[in-house]
Structure 1
Amino acid sequence: MSYLQFPVTPFEQNCSLVWCEQTRKAVIIDPGSRSLALENAIIENNLIIAAVLLTHGHWDHAGAGKLYADKYQVPINGPHFEDKFLLECLPDQAARFGLSAETEAYEPTSWLNEGDVFILGELTFEILHCPGHTPGHIVFVEKNTQHTWAGDVLFRGSVGRTDFPRSNSQDLIQSIKNKLLPLGQDMRIFPGHGPMTTIGIEEKSNPFLK
């Protein structure tokens, strides 16, 4: 597995380009807005985009999902159906920050559920439904390489906000404790904002998990 991350939107959201080194097949995870650096990296690394993957429906993660699906003629997979209401109001979300021109409402090609898998060349991403930050939030877990793309569930030293419509703080903590922590101390967590961390680091030092 190889990956690159590209901060997008005014909130420095981590849009990720992840690929299988053997097949050069790649996915774009959480494209909140267009990134020329991302597009150049696809060309420079001779990658074949296979899909756009979404962890949840907030505009800083999903705003350019349709743009890239159309550009590369690929499906959009995720999030869970419970985030449908968020994807339906993407223009309203973006307009609050003056970005409505580049965002439109859409539905993914497929909603993803707990237990689904997404195959990318020789990589297998398992889907965990982790509600709390949003009701339909999911994460993508590649156990063989110990990489998890966790969106806005768990950050280094913090957790996702729960002051949005249909957010729930109790659900968020239960998602982390029941779904993410069992992945093991060495599991690398790539959050939607900020630096990479591990389950071990967060178990020991994250004040929200005490």
Structure 2
Amino acid sequence: MEWKQIPLGLLQTNCYVLYNQQKDCIIIDPGSEGDKLITYLAKEELQPKAILLTHAHFDHIGAVEVIRKAFKIPVYVHEKEASWLTDPSLNGSQLFLNGRSIIASPADKLLKVEGKLTIDEFTFEIFETPGHSPGSVSFYVKDINTVFAGDTLFQGSIGRTDLPGGSHEQLLNSIEEKLLILPAETKVLPGHGPTTTIEKEINLNPFLNGY
């Protein structure tokens, strides 16, 4: 199993395409530029099976409708942010995009509990990691020692907590209790910027001193 990082949109939000030898794939956080993403998938002859959202801020959901309609695949989001897809005042587009709203149809599947999620040949461990937003989740793939962390943990930084529903204390708890307990060599694939590892963030991240 392999993955491709594709920064999309004005905020260069990292979309990830996780794929296997059979050319099936899962799309994580298609934030914008749906046509660019479709072109990549066609070039690589990949067949999407689902869209997973680490959370539902506008810069992570901007291409959801384009991709869902193109491939007729389900969208997964945490139940605490189910209404964010349809509400630009909640997903932040109304505030940050100068009146331009990003609206998607409701999710097909709501994530309600932590645990295993299996989609065809792909298996994820779902961790609830709120703090950046109430319904933030991280998707851990044990087979490749990788966690898709959304805007929870970055290289040398952590997610912002000054948006509606954010909590600095909750975010630090999420990182400590759900992410830092993973094996040191685990790759962290964040919502923005370069990839990192759990070991590097424990040793070098200034926001995590003492962990």
Q: TM-score, normalised by structure 1?
A: 0.91
Shift of 1:77: 1.1
Shift, 1:141, TM fit = 0.5
- Aligned match of 1:151: 150
Q: Percent identity?
A: 35
Q: Contact 2:83/2:106 (CA < 8 Å) preserved in 1?
A: no
Q: Which residue of 2 aligns with 1:87?
A: 85
- Retained in 2: the 8 A contact 1:113–1:128? no
- Once residues 71 and 140 of structure 1 are traced to their aligned partners in structure 2, the CA distance between those partners, rounded to angstroms, is 24
Partners of 1:58 and 1:90 within 8 A in 2: no
What is the rounded CA distance, in whole Å, between the counterparts of 2:62 and 2:44 in structure 1? 24
The alignment yields a C-alpha RMSD, in angstroms, of 1.8
1:89 partner letter: D
Q: How does 1:42-61 map to 2 (within 5 A)?
A: 42-61=41-60
SS at match of 1:183: coil
Instruction: Give yes or no for contact 1:17–1:38 (8 Å, CA) kept in 2.
Output: no
Q: Which residue of 1 aligns with 2:38?
A: 39
- Which residue number in structure 1 is paired with residue 100 of structure 2? 100
Q: What runs of 5+ residues in structure 2 fail to find an aligned partner? A: none
| Alignment TM-score, normalising by the size of structure 2 | 0.91
Shift of 1:99: 7.7
Which segments of 5 or more consecutive residues in structure 1 lack a partner in the other structure?
A: none
Contact 2:34/2:67, CA 8 A, preserved across alignment = no
**Any residues of structure 2 matched to 1:1-210 within 5 Å, and which?**
1-21=1-21, 23-78=22-77, 80-90=78-88, 93-95=92-94, 96-98=96-98, 100=100, 103-210=102-209
Instruction: Look up the equivalent residue of 1:203 and give its one-letter code.
Output: I
Question: Which string of whole-angstrom CA distances, capped at 9 and with x for unpartnered residues, describes residues 176-204 of structure 1?
Answer: 00000111101100000000000000000
Contact 2:64 2:104 in 1 (8 A): no
Q: Is the 8 A contact 1:63 1:90 kept in 2?
A: no
Q: Aligned partner of 2:127: which letter?
A: L
1:75 Cα deviation from its structure 2 partner: 0.2
SS of residue paired to 2:81: helix
How many angstroms apart in 1 are the aligned matches of 2:116 and 2:69? 23
Distance 2:122 2:116 in 1: 10
Query: Does the residue aligned with 1:170 lie in a helix, a strand or coil?
Result: helix
Amino acid at match of 2:80: E
Number of aligned positions between the proteins: 207
* SS of residue paired to 1:88: coil
* Amino acid across the alignment from 1:86: W
